Amino acid sequence: MGSKLENLSGSNSLPNLDNLSLEEQVAQMVVVRASGYLFDHQIQYPDWEPPAKQLQHWLQDLGVGGVILVGGSAGEVAIRSQQMQGWAKVPLFIAADIEEGVGQRFTSATWFPPPMAIGAVAAQDPQKAELYATKMGAVTAQEALAIGINWIFGPVVDVNNNPQNPVINVRAFGETSAVVSQLATSFIRGTQQYPVLTTAKHFPGHGDTATDSHLELPVIPHSLSRLAEVELPPFEAAIASGVDAVMTAHLLIPAWDEQYPATLSRQVLTQLLREKLGFEGLIVTDALVMGAIANQYGADEAPVMAVEAGADVVVMPVSPEGTIQAICQAVTTGRISRERIRASVKRIWQAKAKISGELETQASIGSDSGKNLISNSVLQLSQPSALTTVANILQDSQKIGGSVSLPLEPPKHNEQFYNLIVVDDALTCDFLGRNAPAVVLPRQLGYQLRLIDNHTPLVSQDLSDSGLEQPTLLQIFVRCNPFRERIGLTPLAENFLNKLLKKNNLQALVIYGSPYILEQFQPDLPSIIPYVYSYGQMPEAQMIALNVLLAQATPVDTVKPFI
């Protein structure tokens, strides 16, 4: 491993890169997805996450350049990243979509509220919001490195100016270029205290869409002047602040290219991003298995087109081996020049040189002297100062209305109160278990739980109407949901809200997630009905929101939701 790190330190000289064969150079341009869990039987998405033998073959034999991890605990990922670095020919990029902190993807680490929560704070106190964004970036970088992740696929710098956007939504810092630019650069500044890579996404702007590019190809019909005024400034700000990579968007923008989506467009990636905006870092594609690309272009053709367009790194191609072969064939036939491949690998080498100290640390974990590094690094997670920042962001961005708290006594012997929770998919809710505050706090007051999700049969939903005859606390969890064509469970949630209002049995409403749902419901909500809205969905958000509602019924210091 030492010689490989020496090559990285000398990455500015082309001869080091020439020591790699064409196939090895192209393999460095590929990032594959893998499960963060340690064992094959724990794999959650077998269509995308290979078993250990397959992954080892890709890293050890093919020399694939990086991995994007999903799932598992922070402790598991620390071991997993060390295992993969041990397999690799050249030290790996280990990436993750941790836009809301490491805890968003890997349990036990700090989970921040969505970026739009900080944008809401900025509306009242821009300076405080900048501090929050900077702290969020610093904590995310520190905790990422603690478990072996060296590439943050964030921040999102899309301007979410379309309330119907099903895939960006609260992932954006805000609805204006100014707010997004301000907070995204603050986040990047926070990460720069640590040797970790950052990524501005999704170029050239995925905020004004009502189509999920995981499923179909969205079209942005705006003029060049409008794109220059709204979509591009946050990317320009991120580039000026030193962001390491820019991730492409699977969007068709006719003003720039009438034929190809941005990910496959030379006009967008090379002429606009590389030449006009002067970006010198890594251009990385969004996942090539997404429907906007996979449904219209061949599994092997799409990566070739992306490289032709100007991409340095292709993420999650349908077939890593097929991708490497196809790109090499394109070079052999003269479709892509060897100089073009070398330029991308040189940028990859420069990025890996930036994180070489961390890579050397990861390499030492397997040694006797490094056995305690994993346990010591995991102890850096979820520090009190980080958790305090999370709580402060949640409190400062929270919206309340009506009578604020519930002036109620616990139900008498012959009474029933219901805690109706409406959630998109209970099977995938890592924030909603039997010990979650949304379940436990109302239960301590005598509320009976009713849980409805998208899998609840319609007949069961109809039968549950009988429960709406009783006083009900309605809690709705809804935010952007990739691969689901729409933004959450609005029709189902709206149905229950309207029925409760009609029967005059809605005690209070709590919405976790999208602020646009609150805006949709507010016109029909009587002014006396207390409500709380939180950008976050995690247990901390539930605790803070419900303590506002239940303050009079249950003192905060008596609540013990985690058993």
Active-site residues: which are they?
A: 214, 286
Closest listed residue to residue 114, CA positions, set 158, 160, 173, 68:
173
CA distance 417 to 406: 13
Sign of the torsion formed by the C-alpha atoms of 451, 103, 188 and 344: negative
CA distance 445 to 439: 11
Backbone angles phi, psi at 531, to 5 degrees: -140, 155
According to DSSP, residue 256 is labeled T
**Any idea which residue has 């799932």 for tokens?**
71
Q: Where are the alpha helices (DSSP H) in 22-174?
A: 22-27, 52-56, 74-87, 115-124, 126-146
315's tokens? 């993420």
Report CA-CA distances (Å) from 482 to 278, 369, 428: 31, 43, 13
CA distance 4 to 10: 10
Report CA-CA distances (Å) from 351 to 9, 17, 244, 312, 334: 11, 14, 7, 11, 27
Closest listed residue to residue 90, CA positions, set 198, 3, 196, 21:
3
CA distance 407 to 404: 9
Work out the number of other CB atoms within 10 angstroms of the CB of residue 362. Answer: 27
| Whether the Cβ atoms of residue 431 and residue 475 lie closer than 8 Å to each other | no
Buried/exposed code over 420-437 (b: 16+ C-beta within 10 A; e: otherwise) = bbbbbebeebebbeeebb
Q: What order do you get walking across the sheet with 199-203 strand by strand?
A: 199-203, 245-248, 282-284
Please name the residues in contact with 226: beta carbons below 8 A apart, sequence gap of 6 or more: none
Q: Which amino acid is at 304?
A: V
434's tokens? 């039997």
